[in-house]
Amino acid sequence: MSYTLSVLEQLKENNARQTEFIQAATEILTSLKDYVDARPQYEAAGLLERFVEPERQIVFRVPWIDDAGKVRVNRGYRVQFNSAIGPYKGGLRFHPSVNLSIIKFLALEQILKNSLTGQAIGGGKGGADFNPMGKSDREVMAFCQSFVSELFRHISHMTDVPAGDIGVGAREVGYMFGQYKRLANSFEGVFTGKGINYGGSLARTEATGYGLVYLVEEMMRQHDQSLAGKTVIVSGAGNVGSHAVEKAQQLGANVIAVGEYTGTILDNQGIDLAVLREITARRGDFADYVNARPHAEFLPGTKVWTVPCEIALPCATQNELDEDDAKTLVANGCTTVGEGANMPATLEATEVFRHNGVLFAPGKAANAGGVATSALEMSQNSSRMAWSFDKVDDKLKNIMTGIYHNISTAADEAGCPGNYVVGANIAGFKKVADAMMAQGIV
């Protein structure tokens, strides 16, 4: 049996109930099969067995007191997966669905994503099964302080640098940074996504959504197309989705629909971002959109993928776009998909896109702009500098264009031109694998 596939089989046995982790590993190892099997030095060094096993996994109790005076307990996680090319780097997710499988899948993806940025950052991810929705600021602060009271001993600006993800934004990062500084007695760039007046970077908030659109535009340009005049749909109206809408509109696209779990807003005149942001800022209902835009429709319980479009940008969460959704998109004329979220398309959906010649930019490449700009924040912190918005945005644009060409070349060299899933996995893996080989059996 192929070395790569035997490692995958062992991984499935060792992690039997971790479905998301197995899904991510299956995509990655299947993509790497020919590349790795052709290089026996990897097998001799047990490279893949080490690559799929996290260097360290921390699971911890997070006790806190709610506004009614009741003691609550959540479970916290930090998976420090790979530090071959730099300190562990990756976000924290606060969401009731969080478990070890989800954090491991995200951390595994993060290793390759971070490698693709070209910056010196390893892969990690963390979070908790805590739901910030409906909590008071004081409750969120109490939770964040308790979370960091354990986490602080495992992180530092040289060791592991967390950031935001779903459920973790500027407010949560602020509370966590404050508690870290107090416990470690050290003002350092240990978190990214900080506020601008205490070490945050301009353009970090916009970076994931903007970066997604920069990469999609470059991919289209290489196929003699562009976003201008195209019909676009987006899932998710959080930080990633809203900034993807903004940048797509700036490049002349017609964004006609935005969906989330409650339903879809359909606005054929183009989504009014100010109206959408007013709703999300107060955590209101998507249905309110039609109050300000009476010609628009809210389709309760309808997935955005049913809206005919040329370009689809899934920016919400993992496995939000399945095989049937992919078939619907293709039947309705969709020709380009860019993943703003982590693993939003299932393995089966990705196959549908590949079979139908859809230009498909996988998340580990397409959404790398967020963490890439986090690494720019780390650089600014280390040099005690604060760069202008345009300087950071220019660097982001260059990084995203570079990632596209890197994964495209890797796909060509692997003999599957246009298969950016294979291209991204090989290009990301190569740098990490070579570093691991050079550093010996560790």
Give the interface with ligand 2IT as residue ranges (CB under 6 A).
89-91, 113, 163, 165, 192, 342, 370-371, 374
CB of 357 to ligand 2IT, least distance (A): 28
User: How many Å is the Cα radius of gyration of the chain?
Assistant: 21
The encoded tokens of residue 296 equal 């628009």
CB of 89 to ligand 2IT, least distance (A): 5
CB of 368 to ligand 2IT, least distance (A): 7
Closest CA to 132 of 162, 191, 92: 92
Nearer CB in complex with ligand 2IT: 54/370:
370
Determine the Cα–Cα distance for residues 430 and 411; give it in Å rounded to an integer. Answer: 13
> Which long-range contacts does 5-9 make (Cβ < 8 Å, 24+ apart)?
5/29, 5/33, 7/48, 7/49, 7/52
Nearer CB in complex with ligand 2IT: 267/377:
377
> Going by DSSP bridges, is the β-strand pair 311-314/71-82 parallel, antiparallel, or unpaired?
unpaired
Determine the Cα–Cα distance for residues 114 and 74; give it in Å rounded to an integer. Answer: 29
Q: Which of 125, 247, 303, 364 is catalytic?
A: 125
CB distance 365 to 407 below 8 Å: yes
298's CB contacts (< 8 A; 6+ apart) are 263, 264, 265, 266, 286, 287, 289, 290
Determine the Cα–Cα distance for residues 193 and 162; give it in Å rounded to an integer. Answer: 9
Is 125 an active-site residue? yes
The encoded tokens of residue 327 equal 């078939």
Determine the Cα–Cα distance for residues 417 and 145; give it in Å rounded to an integer. Answer: 48
Determine the Cα–Cα distance for residues 1 and 189; give it in Å rounded to an integer. Answer: 46
Determine the Cα–Cα distance for residues 93 and 96; give it in Å rounded to an integer. Answer: 10
CB of 204 to ligand 2IT, least distance (A): 8
Nearer CB in complex with ligand 2IT: 14/382:
382
Nearer CB in complex with ligand 2IT: 89/303:
89
Determine the Cα–Cα distance for residues 232 and 250; give it in Å rounded to an integer. Answer: 13
Nearer CB in complex with ligand 2IT: 206/267:
206
CB of 236 to ligand 2IT, least distance (A): 13
CB of 436 to ligand 2IT, least distance (A): 21
Nearer CB in complex with ligand 2IT: 89/95:
89
Q: State the catalytic residues.
A: 125
